[in-house]
Amino acid sequence: MKKNIFLLVIFLFLISGCQQNEVIKTHGVAYLKKREKLIIVNETNKNDTVSILGQPSTKGMVDDNLWIYIERTRTRGTLLKFGRNYLKKNNVLVLEFDKYGILERKEFYDKNSMKKISFAKDITENELRKENFIYSFLNSVRQKMLTRRK
């Protein structure tokens, strides 16, 4: 019995020596929520935005006047969660500028507001890929038949 208690005390001593500080991994623009308040619609231009937030994480595919900034923070879970990483912050700032470079619209999304966004559940099937697979399969069978005839 004393041996079990002794092992338990040693085990608890080893566990208590683990790191107590939270390990945080940030990707993107740090403190995006605070910096977003410095940007004012119809007053801030692209140069001001770059000086406050830096270059955007991504720009619009069709329109270069759509800028997107991302902040993603992950940390390790508690011992009860077996130390798995979980998402602490997931902030996205979408800025839209007019043709003169003045901020026209700004939208800020955090982790909670993104849960409210609904996405379509329909799946688009690619008929071209199916035809390509069938064509390539039949073509390979034809090639094998031709090589066996020779």
Instruction: Name residues whose C-beta falls within 8 Å of residue 58's C-beta, 6 or more positions apart in sequence.
Output: 67, 68, 70
pLDDT for residue 42: 92
Q: Phi and psi (nearest 5°) for 85?
A: -70, 145
Confidence of residue 139 (pLDDT cuts 50, 70, 90): confident
- State mean pLDDT over 130-147: 68
- State mean pLDDT over 24-45: 88
The residue assigned the tokens 């977003």 is: 36
- Strand 103-109 with 66-76, pairing: unpaired
* DSSP alpha helix (H) spans, 59-126: 111-114
Q: Where are the domains of the chain?
A: 19-112
pLDDT in tens, 62-107: 888 999 999 988 887 665 556 677 778 889 999 999 999 999 999 9
pTM of the model: 0.61
